[in-house]
Chains A and B, each alone.
Chain A
Amino acid sequence: MMKLDMSALETQFGAPAGEDGGLLFDVDGAAMPGMEFPNCRDQFDRFQATTKDMVKNKRGTTTLAFIFDKGVIVAADSRASMGGYISSQTVRKIIEINPYMLGTMAGGAADCQFWHRNLGTKCRLHELANKRRISVTGASKLLANILYSYRGMGLSIGTMIAGWDEKGPGLYYVDSEGARLKGNRFSVGSGSLYAYGILDEGYRFKMSVEEAGELARRAIYHATFRDGASGGCVSVYHVGPDGWKKLSGDDVGELHFQYYPVQKTPVEQEMTDASTS
């Protein structure tokens, strides 16, 4: 049987160990400059995936957007968390790409901010070259193509592109896996499950702008109530034919007492001092 040339797989540090002839990184401490590798004896190809999983942000946030007869409502919380530590309660998760398009941020903050800014540049260049605004379809496709080309390299972005173009309101979900979905209602983030519950129940196509904004606000509030990684303030934006406008920004703590005001309970027992005699 021919002896396969494994010289490329030999590390400089540890001696190749075991019956597999040094195929797997089975290193036992001593010779290695101390670094803990994830244990992946069985699947050599899982090494990369497991390492990336360790560093991946778990999208601790709640964002939502939906289309109704008067445009698009976009809402998000404002908490940034690093594991169990709340790093900020005042993050702006709704990014203004241009006066008639908004993007939401979920996943890596730096990734989202940079690529949305980059998308804004591309949209502006398209406008200048073609003498017409880019459609929401086109903008979301530009972003999705970029993210697809970086697939597998560790970008973490779960965003919704919402806007109003010639064809009316548009809403697309784009993520760093390369997915691009057109839809009427989306919620992204760790709190999205809770937000969907309120959103799906209360959604009607025909609503006034105030009703729609209130629905979004309530949905985000309930997500922040149950999800530890969401909180801070709820920002609600409306995108209409003339562009976007911020409807409200409310602290969830205050919203809680608005929705569930404190009930005064009757006094059942009163503590009195024991009589001294």
Chain B
Amino acid sequence: MARYDRAITVFSPDGHLFQVEYALEAVRKGNAAVGVRGTDTVVLAVEKKSTPKLQDSRSVRKIARLDTHIALACAGLKADARVLINRARIECQSHRLTVEDPVTVEYITRYIAGLQQKYTQSGGVRPFGLSTLIVGFDPYTDKPALYQTDPSGTFSAWKANATGRNSNSMREFLEKNYKETSGKETVKLAIRALLEVVESGGKNIEIAVMTKEDGLRELEESEIDEYVAEIEAEKAAAEAAKKGGQKDA
């Protein structure tokens, strides 16, 4: 009978955990996802790869709600994501039951990261092949928060971050263009970052906006198209201004 207690994730001679690194490869092949934190809003934007004609797109939601004040988007293996999201949802309720208080974003991120780490140090299992972007509002301080976890089990807080396909170019864009924003501006910043690597159009982007008052709201395709149109117009105006300036000089 096969023995399932042998570890799969073991060190290489030069100190790497190859299984974890291969999991990161799986993440790099996953769909692009961006998260941006504003002063009163957090936004998650995820690339929607073209849906087959016969598929019911409503059953393929990329952004998951963990609790009334916490949402998660991820890049990588979607089946692994389902398992992780279910465990996180149970932990959110369990915390409410034992301490009579909702979880903080940091707490649930720590839990998810801890879970991902456990699977890099157990026998017979492989690491989760996904990185997550977790957004939410702290129930005590009412401040928005954005965290990222990866297959190795590390986590940290970010002002804005991207993961999945072409995440490097998105992150570069965010580093160049990030500033403190609120409300609609935060949404636009997230969309602009995603449009760097994704075909433009409401059909290819899924966006969720979270505010303290209204909780999590998924934007309709028409709303996304409006934003995209605004952004294109702004871009065109900026190009024109640049050209005009060059002409004068």
Task: For A130, give its contact among B98, B100, B107 (CB under 8 Å).
Answer: B107
Task: For A138, give its contact among B99, B107, B110 (CB under 8 Å).
Answer: B99
Task: For A142, give its contact among B99, B104, B107, B140 (CB under 8 Å).
Answer: B99
**A3 in the interface (beta carbon within 8 A):** no
- B140 near A141 with CB under 8 A, answer no
Which residues of chain A have C-beta atoms less than 8 A from B104's C-beta? 130
Question: By DSSP majority rule, is chain A's interface helix, strand, loop, or mixed?
Answer: helix
Task: For A145, give its contact among B98, B101, B106, B140 (CB under 8 Å).
Answer: B98
Q: How large is the interface on B (under 10, 10 to 19, 20 to 34, 35 or more residues)?
A: under 10
Contacting residues of chain B (95-153) with chain A, CB-CB under 8 angstroms: 98-101, 104, 106-107, 110, 140
- A137 near B101 with CB under 8 A, answer yes
Taking the nearest CB of chain A, how far is it from the CB of B203, in angstroms?
A: 42
Please name the residue on chain B nearest to A138 by beta carbon: B99
- A141 near B107 with CB under 8 A, answer no
Alpha-carbon distance between A229 and B175 when the two chains are bound, in angstroms? 72
Task: For A135, give its contact among B99, B106, B107 (CB under 8 Å).
Answer: B99
Taking the nearest CB of chain A, how far is it from the CB of B104, in angstroms?
A: 7
Alpha-carbon distance between A130 and B110 when the two chains are bound, in angstroms? 10
How many residues in A have their beta carbons less than 8 Å from beta carbons of B? 11
- B140 near A138 with CB under 8 A, answer no
Alpha-carbon distance between A166 and B98 when the two chains are bound, in angstroms? 18
With contacts A130-B104, A130-B107 taken as known, whether A137 is within 8 angstroms of B99 at the C-beta atoms is yes
Contacting residues of chain B (140-172) with chain A, CB-CB under 8 angstroms: 140
Contacting residues of chain A (134-178) with chain B, CB-CB under 8 angstroms: 134-135, 137-138, 141-142, 145, 166
Please name the residue on chain B nearest to A130 by beta carbon: B107
Alpha-carbon distance between A132 and B106 when the two chains are bound, in angstroms? 12
Contacting residues of chain A (93-148) with chain B, CB-CB under 8 angstroms: 129-130, 132, 134-135, 137-138, 141-142, 145
Which residues of chain B have C-beta atoms less than 8 A from A137's C-beta? 99-101
- A142 near B101 with CB under 8 A, answer no
Taking the nearest CB of chain B, how far is it from the CB of A147, in angstroms?
A: 13
Please name the residue on chain B nearest to A139 by beta carbon: B99
Please name the residue on chain B nearest to A145 by beta carbon: B98
Which residues of chain B have C-beta atoms less than 8 A from A135's C-beta? 99-101
Please name the residue on chain B nearest to A140 by beta carbon: B100
Which residues of chain B have C-beta atoms less than 8 A from A130's C-beta? 104, 106-107
- A166 near B101 with CB under 8 A, answer no
Please name the residue on chain B nearest to A180 by beta carbon: B100
Please name the residue on chain B nearest to A137 by beta carbon: B100
Taking the nearest CB of chain A, how far is it from the CB of B140, in angstroms?
A: 7
Please name the residue on chain A nearest to B107 by beta carbon: A130
Alpha-carbon distance between A68 and B100 when the two chains are bound, in angstroms? 23
- A134 near B140 with CB under 8 A, answer no
Which residues of chain B have C-beta atoms less than 8 A from A138's C-beta? 98-101
Taking the nearest CB of chain A, how far is it from the CB of B139, in angstroms?
A: 11
- A142 near B98 with CB under 8 A, answer yes
Alpha-carbon distance between A132 and B138 when the two chains are bound, in angstroms? 12
Alpha-carbon distance between A36 and B87 when the two chains are bound, in angstroms? 52
Taking the nearest CB of chain A, how far is it from the CB of B12, in angstroms?
A: 32
- B140 near A132 with CB under 8 A, answer yes
Alpha-carbon distance between A130 and B101 when the two chains are bound, in angstroms? 13
Alpha-carbon distance between A134 and B107 when the two chains are bound, in angstroms? 14
Contact mask for chain B residues 74-111; partner A; CB cutoff 8 A; 1 contact, 0 none: 00000000000000000000000011110010110010
Alpha-carbon distance between A141 and B96 when the two chains are bound, in angstroms? 11
Taking the nearest CB of chain A, how far is it from the CB of B73, in angstroms?
A: 24
Which residues of chain B have C-beta atoms less than 8 A from A142's C-beta? 98-99
9 pairs of A and B residues whose beta carbons are closest in the complex: A138-B99, A137-B100, A141-B100, A141-B99, A141-B98, A145-B98, A138-B101, A138-B100, A130-B107
Binding site for A on B (CB under 8 A): 98-101, 104, 106-107, 110, 140
Known A134-B99, A135-B100, A166-B140; 4 more pairs at CB < 8 Å: A129-B110, A137-B99, A137-B100, A137-B101
Chosen A-B contacts, 7 in total, with CB atoms closer than 8 Å, are A129-B110, A132-B140, A134-B99, A138-B100, A138-B101, A142-B99, A145-B98
